[in-house]
Amino acid sequence: MKRSVIACTAALALLTGVPAYSETPLAVEIVVATMSVEQQTFSLTGEIRPRESLMAAFPIGGRVTEVLADLGAKVESNAPLARLDSIQQELALRTAEAGLRTAQADHLQAIEDLRRAEALLASGATTRATRDATDDALRAAEGALELAEADWDRATKALADTVLRAPSASTVISRMIEPGQIIGAAQTAMELALDKGFEAVFEVPEAMLIGEAPSSGIVLSRFSKPEEGFGGRLTEVSPLIDPKTGTVAAKVEVLDPPVGLGFGEPVRGTASRPAEAQVSLPYTSMSATADGPAVWRVDQETMHVVLQPVEIDRYETGRFLLSGGVEEGDWIVTKGAQLLYPGRLVRRVGEDQ
């Protein structure tokens, strides 16, 4: 009788296509996918630079005789920074001054001569031709005086050009000259940081610029005093990528510079920005198909698994964030995935079979 029952059961299984014994569920760890909005916080190392700087140069060439400002020196507006040999310019100025004095004396004499000629013409003691000749002499004296004044102006400017002066209050951040050096016209002698504030310059990886840039709320800190934070505001992002480093230059204005902050000082910049609602999964849930990354999703009604392709937004320590492929509330296998195949029956770890 017992053999007949077993035979009937086997025959029924063959006819219906259902296995005689059910598959044993595989115990796996499962996590429920949830959407969350998190602050993205990132830090980079940058350098303090002046908001405005200029390259100071002599307008003429010559031999440097004095350098009056050292590297790092703070100078006031119009303060002398360096001098060139000015012997030729001084001689030219003295010559121009002598010529100017002569032209001024000739001009005064011509004025007196014309006044006397007009008086004589009025009394009939001279001719109009003589008076006109005196007037022509005055016009010539005026022209000579204008020429002498122009020569004096040029000589004065040439002498002034032998002294390099600060255009405004500034700090010397680079010096390219030494006493005795021969320098050409317009050749850079010093780099000046104008006293118009500080900015921090960062080399930002291109991937970090995806999304909205944090224009405010940037916190800066010096490496020498990391506990002292001060504010910053993003002012400029370069439109070009550095082909050597693959980074983009970003400038952050220093809003409240601390005492003692100097040019060239390294700083750390920290910024945060809200991210879009995303699903994050532990790295242990990562799997793959021939086309790319995937995860094992559990059908909550049948408890069978399917390999679900996903789109990964970014990787972080211990997890990865998705931009597509998994919906909120999906069940995802996090441990035991190496034993799975499509359609495999699973159960949660700790649940009874």
Does 16 fall in a domain?
no
Specify the pLDDT at position 41.
82
Does residue 268 share a domain with residue 145? no
Does residue 315 share a domain with residue 222? no
Q: Mean pLDDT over all residues of the chain?
A: 89
Give tens-digit pLDDT for 67-101: 999 999 999 999 999 999 999 999 999 999 999 99
pLDDT band at 7 (very low <50, low <70, confident <90, very high): very low
Does residue 95 share a domain with residue 120? yes
Does residue 166 share a domain with residue 141? no
Give tens-digit pLDDT for 215-254: 568 999 999 999 999 999 999 999 999 999 989 999 999 9
Specify the pLDDT at position 350.
67
Is the model more confident about 104 or about 6? 104
Residue 219's CATH number: 2.40.30.170
Does 46 fall in a domain?
yes
Domain end call among 160, 181, 204: 160
Give tens-digit pLDDT for 298-353: 999 999 999 999 999 888 889 998 989 999 999 999 998 888 999 999 999 866 55
Beta bridge partners of 73: none
Specify the pLDDT at position 20.
37
Indicate yes or no: pTM above 0.85.
no
User: Domain residues for 68?
Assistant: 57-85+162-193
Does residue 73 share a domain with residue 179? yes
Specify the pLDDT at position 223.
93
Specify the pLDDT at position 18.
41
pLDDT band at 8 (very low <50, low <70, confident <90, very high): very low
Does residue 179 share a domain with residue 64? yes
Give tens-digit pLDDT for 284-297: 999 999 899 999 99
Does residue 206 share a domain with residue 297? no
Give tens-digit pLDDT for 110-163: 999 999 999 999 988 889 999 999 999 999 999 999 999 999 999 999 999 999
Residue 168's CATH number: 2.40.50.100
Specify the pLDDT at position 316.
84
Does residue 71 share a domain with residue 92? no
Could you give the percent of the chain with pLDDT greater than 90? 73
Does residue 189 share a domain with residue 61? yes
Could you give the percent of the chain with pLDDT greater than 70? 90
Give how many domains the chain has, as a whole number: 4
* pLDDT reading at 17 higher than 60: no
* pLDDT reading at 191 higher than 90: yes
Does 261 fall in a domain?
yes
pLDDT band at 23 (very low <50, low <70, confident <90, very high): confident
